[in-house]
A = this chain, B = another copy of it.
Amino acid sequence: VPRDGSVNRTRILDAAETLVIAHGFAATSVDAVIDAAGTTKGGFFHHFPSKGDLGRALVERYAAEDAVVLDELLERAERLARDPLQQLLVFVGLLADEVEAAMRVAPGCLFASFCYERELVDAETRALIESSLRLWGDRIEAKLQAAAAAYPPRVEVDLRALADQVTTLVEGAYVMVRALGDATFVRGQLEQLRSYLELLFDPHPAARSSSPAAAA
């Protein structure tokens, strides 16, 4: 192997990811990426024939990491609880931790950054984003079906839409956090989802009424 270019390549991707999440893709100039990564035009275009290729590589890497996070959270939830409903509740809790931490680092989802410049993104990259988001829905829907089999839902629900609510809330929370500037916002939203799941699959609804209350 000649000089290992992957180091430089990774530095470029890291710098670009930060900048894209902060400013958007179009507003992130190649020069800015180069400066942040400490490399040069030549080096950049050696690794990425065009800015569009950088975008695709960015999304590819992000999607791969995203899939790993999903797997890990599910796995941990499955280890921490045996009951499918409990696993789901734990999963949502773990996710809240994860996302809140991520928001403190970089308050934004790379996928959303690209979605908000949708018309300028090539089809391949869009497909990558789509399948990444669908993966979350698929995995969570499966868990929901297991939970629904054990605990019949108290109202008729579209389990797919419910599964997609996880990603929807997280994506929405990213926007809200950017607008309101409060990183704890996600947790609040995911807590609502946990309450919903508990109420929806509650086998003994009447027993609950003992705990009253509402926060300010």
Chain A residues near B (Cβ < 8 Å):
22-27, 107-109, 111-113, 115-120, 126, 129-130, 133-134, 145, 148, 152-162, 164-165, 167-173, 175-176, 178-181, 185, 188-189, 191-192, 195-196, 198-200, 202, 205-206, 208-209, 211-216
Given contacts A23-B26, A206-B205, contact A115 B175 (CB under 8 A): yes
Check A117 against B27 for contact (C-beta < 8 Å). yes
Check A176 against B171 for contact (C-beta < 8 Å). yes
Min distance, Cβ A5 to any Cβ of chain B, angstroms: 14
A156 vs B185: C-alpha distance when bound (angstroms): 17
Interface class of chain A by DSSP: helix
Check B27 against A213 for contact (C-beta < 8 Å). no
Among A119, A154, A200, chain B packs the most CB atoms within 10 A around the CB of A154
Check A160 against B196 for contact (C-beta < 8 Å). no
Min distance, Cβ A144 to any Cβ of chain B, angstroms: 8
Chain B residues positioned under 8 Å from A108 (CB to CB): 116, 118
| A214 partner, pick from B148, B185, B212, beta carbons under 8 A | B148
Check B199 against A155 for contact (C-beta < 8 Å). yes
Check A154 against B215 for contact (C-beta < 8 Å). no
6 contacts between A and B (CB under 8 A): A24-B120, A116-B116, A161-B185, A165-B189, A196-B200, A206-B206
Check A168 against B169 for contact (C-beta < 8 Å). yes
Check A199 against B154 for contact (C-beta < 8 Å). yes
| A179 partner, pick from B115, B159, B161, B172, beta carbons under 8 A | B115
Among A129, A155, A200, chain B packs the most CB atoms within 10 A around the CB of A155
Residue of B with least CB distance to A214: B148
A178 vs B129: C-alpha distance when bound (angstroms): 10
A118 vs B181: C-alpha distance when bound (angstroms): 11
Residue of B with least CB distance to A2: B42
